[in-house]
Structures are given as C-alpha cells and as structure tokens.
Amino acid sequence: MADGPRRRIGIDLGGTKIEGVVLDDAGRPVVRHRVATESSRGYEHIVARVADVAAHLRRAAPTTTVIGVGTPGAVSHRDGTMKNCNTTCLNGRNGRRLREALEAAIGTAVHIENDANCFALAEASAGAAPARGLVFGVILGTGVGGGIVCNGAVRQGPQHIAGEWGHHCIDPAGPACYCGQRGCVERYLSGPAVEAHYAAVTGRARPLADVVAGFRSGEPAARLVLDEFLDRFGRALANVIDILDPDVVVLGGGVSNIDELYTLGRQAVARYVFNDELRTPIRRHQLGDSAGVIGAALLT
C-alpha cells in the first residue's frame, strides 16, 4: 500500500484501553486499533501493549518517524518522568522515563502529551471549536481534566500543568482526593464522584445514567445530587472563565453527555462568573471518544 508522507499516527493510552489511529493527509482516520491496557499488570506490560498497537498502525504508515501519545498525566520538566497519572504505575517515582521506554519499544520518536490537551487540540482543530483564539477543553469522565489551546497550539506552561482544573480546590472542607488535597473539582464533577454522592445520600448504588433519569422524573435524591453537581460545575467553570475568558469552552468525556450541563449548568456558570452576562459558548464535543487519539496524532 502506498504510504503518503503526511500520514500521522496517534495513540491514546488510557487506564482501561489503548486506542490508536492513522490519519490521512486530510486528517481523516484510515485505520483504527484498540486493545485493553491491562494496567494492573504493570509498567513494562503497558509499554509492550502500546508498542503492539504502534506496530499494527505502522503497517499503514511505515515511513512515519514520530508517533503522538496521549496519556492521563504529563511529562515532568524536572526529570522527564511522568507525573499526575491516575494510572499511578506510570508515574516516575522510580525514575523511569516513559517516552524513552516507548521510543525503544516502538522504534520511532514519541511525543507525549496530556490527554485533556490532546482532546482540546482535536476539538480546536477539527471539532466543536475550530476557531482561532483561546479554546478551553474540559474532560468530564472517570476523572476531570482540562486543556488550553491558543491559536491552534497546546499551552503547556513551564510546569506542564496549564489547564489542570481537575485538581483545583473548590471546597477545602470537601472530600479527600488521591492527589493529597481536599475538595478538588474532580471529586464533584467526575462520573464516579456523582455516583458516590448519590450512594451516600440514598445508601443505594446506581449508575450515572439512572441518576440523570431520576433527576428528570423528579426523584428527590437525584435532584439533590444533580442540583449540587450543576452548581459545582458552574462555580468551577466560572473560575476558569474569569481568568482565561476563552473564546469557546468545549466539554468531552462521558459526563459531558448530560444535556442539562448546557442549560442549567450554563445558568450556574452565569451565576458565578464575574460579569453581567455570559457570552462564552459552552459546546458539546463533536469528535466523541476519538478526540483524544486524533489530538495525539495532531501532535506530530
């Protein structure tokens, strides 16, 4: 098969799955491949799984010399190890540098970027916010992340934490977080956080979709839980808008499919933003689950 010189490979290394894509020179996916991460089997196993995905994709792009990889955390500028990954075995307490391990296993250069930054880049380039200016991309899923794209480029920052709103505190007396702080945005706006809140109120575990259905049918406990969720969303996003005043906010991740975020959630943002109106568009993702992997490919 002919290999166009501008084919690009992206891989999204998640806690449960590793997904890869080859984009053609127009940015369209031509090959996709997905495997389970099997993260409980540890660091070397994950590296080997990513290398397997890369080998599969390179058959459709054999002359590719650099591969983009999205990860839950970020590369530390201090020593090149990973930090802030919720797949914690990837983090660099042992001094291992994931990029070097992947380059050795794959045989190409590797560019690593935070998965929320990949999401924001993809939606700013080809999705819900194809605009110049400043795009704030939010992932509301099993975790909460954020990424800033300015004039088409990811803003990393000198500490590689730009956009990381998931672990900023909106209540110092709030629930404890794995990061060591209390009351992080992630502890209120992630899917597991909403489900845990519902279980604490009712003594019953229900999946998020059922809690949303209960909210719509007027179930008191579901209303209490989702009213607080939407209020916390408003407060947390208003903080970001006050500081960045982005041209567009785009929401991704499974929790972003709750329609009320774009109506009641938006009203909550307007309540807390430091302005007499809220002009900021708050849009739903357009690339779905593919945004992360497409953004990873766009890094190259």
Give residues in contact with Zn ion (CB under 5 A). Answer: 167, 177, 179, 181, 184
Least separation in angstroms between residue 132's CB and Zn ion is 32
Q: Which is nearer to Zn ion, 127 or 145 (CB)?
A: 145
Contact between 7 and 64 under an 8 Å Cβ cutoff? The reply is yes
Q: Which is nearer to Zn ion, 178 or 262 (CB)?
A: 178
Least separation in angstroms between residue 212's CB and Zn ion is 24
Instruction: Give the whole-angstrom CA distance, residue 252 versus residue 146.
Output: 10
Q: 33-54 as b/e, with b when 16 or more CB fall inside 10 Å?
A: beeebebeeebeebbebbbbbb
Q: Which is nearer to Zn ion, 88 or 181 (CB)?
A: 181
Instruction: Give the whole-angstrom CA distance, residue 38 versus residue 162.
Output: 29
Instruction: Give the whole-angstrom CA distance, residue 32 versus residue 9.
Output: 10
Determine which helix (DSSP H) or strand (DSSP E) holds 20, and give its type and residue range: strand 17-23
Least separation in angstroms between residue 186's CB and Zn ion is 6
Label residue 180 exposed, middle or buried (CB < 10 Å: 0-12, 13-18, 19+): exposed
Q: Which is nearer to Zn ion, 180 or 218 (CB)?
A: 180
Least separation in angstroms between residue 165's CB and Zn ion is 11
Q: Which is nearer to Zn ion, 39 or 86 (CB)?
A: 86
Length of the chain: 300
Least separation in angstroms between residue 187's CB and Zn ion is 7
Q: Which is nearer to Zn ion, 171 or 195 (CB)?
A: 171
Chain mean position to CA 186: 12
Tokens of 233: 């969303």
Q: Which is nearer to Zn ion, 150 or 179 (CB)?
A: 179
What's the count of helices (H) and strands (E) in the chain, helices before strands?
9, 12
Least separation in angstroms between residue 177's CB and Zn ion is 3
Tokens of 248: 């567009």
Instruction: Read off the amino acid at residue 85.
Output: C
